[in-house]
């Protein structure tokens, strides 16, 4: 029988910003009709992309990613392992399941000699996933956005604050499921804030 492969180098050494709170987040989960759950999705590849919209370089980037670059604030596009989030008129964040160095190299190749940049910023943020029927109510305790489905729905992603923490907030589906991307250094505070905000839903549950 072959020996199991053991990861070596930086991948083996990396630690999630919230691994010490994994048990507390799991214990804070509320089942049932008023349910809400919180978990970390660590080590998501994130590449900050700058390129002129509509340029030849942008066209090459879109072919590389297999999806167009969003053109409006709040928009996202997806294809395969990649989701692209609009950050500004010439700036996007690529979220991906692909390996960070390889994806960054592909995007830099697509840029070619044209103006622009592709920078792996995966270590800069982590991802918290808040999901369940009561997740919107939890966020509304500290987020200034109108999160009602008439104003904010699946596929929307914007920069905002939750409590005092700046985040990129992305609604993934209609459950609703939200992904919050804070700076890694603020992730502990945000996770504890969300756990506290979930507290009121731990009463008697309706089956």
The dihedral sign for the CA sequence 88, 180, 199, 136: positive
pLDDT in tens, 80-114: 999 999 999 999 999 999 999 999 999 999 999 99
Model pLDDT, residue 10: 60
In a domain, 14, yes or no: no
Among 74, 105, 123, give the residue marking a domain's end.
Answer: 123
Q: What is the CATH number of the domain that holds 94?
A: 3.30.70.1520
Q: Is there a single domain that holds both residue 50 and residue 103? A: yes
Among 108, 123, 138, give the residue marking a domain's end.
Answer: 123
pTM of the complete model: 0.90
Model pLDDT, residue 102: 97
Q: Is there a single domain that holds both residue 94 and residue 110? A: yes
Through-space distance between the first and last CA atoms of the chain, rounded to whole angstroms: 48
For the chain, the 3-state helix, strand and coil shares in percent, each to the nearest 5, are 30, 30, 40
Tell me which residue range forms the domain holding 68: 45-123
Q: Is there a single domain that holds both residue 130 and residue 195? A: yes
38, 128 contact by CB (below 8 A): yes
In a domain, 9, yes or no: no
**pLDDT beneath 70: ranges in the chain:** 1-13, 203-207
What is the number of domains present in the chain? 2
In a domain, 165, yes or no: yes
């Amino acid at each position: 029988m072959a020996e199991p492969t053991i990861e070596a180098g930086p991948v083996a050494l990396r630690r999630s910003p919230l691994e010490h709170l994994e048990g507390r987040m799991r214990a804070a989960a509320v089942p049932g009709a008023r349910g809400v759950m919180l978990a970390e999705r660590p080590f998501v590849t994130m590449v900050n992309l700058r390129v002129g919209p509509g340029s030849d370089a942008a066209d090459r980037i879109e072919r590389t990613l297999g999806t167009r670059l969003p053109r409006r604030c709040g928009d996202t596009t997806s294809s395969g392992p990649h989701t692209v989030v609009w950050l500004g008129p010439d700036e996007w964040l690529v979220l991906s399941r692909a390996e960070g160095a390889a994806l960054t190299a592909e995007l830099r190749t697509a840029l070619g000699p044209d103006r622009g940049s592709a920078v792996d910023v995966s270590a800069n943020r982590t991802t918290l996933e808040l999901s369940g029927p009561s997740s919107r109510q939890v966020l509304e305790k500290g987020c200034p956005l109108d999160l009602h489905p008439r104003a904010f729905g699946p596929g929307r992603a914007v920069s905002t604050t939750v409590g005092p923490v700046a985040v990129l907030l992305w609604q993934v589906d209609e459950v609703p499921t939200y992904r919050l991307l804070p700076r890694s250094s603020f992730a502990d505070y945000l996770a504890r804030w969300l756990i506290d905000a979930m507290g009121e839903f731990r009463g008697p549950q309706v089956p």
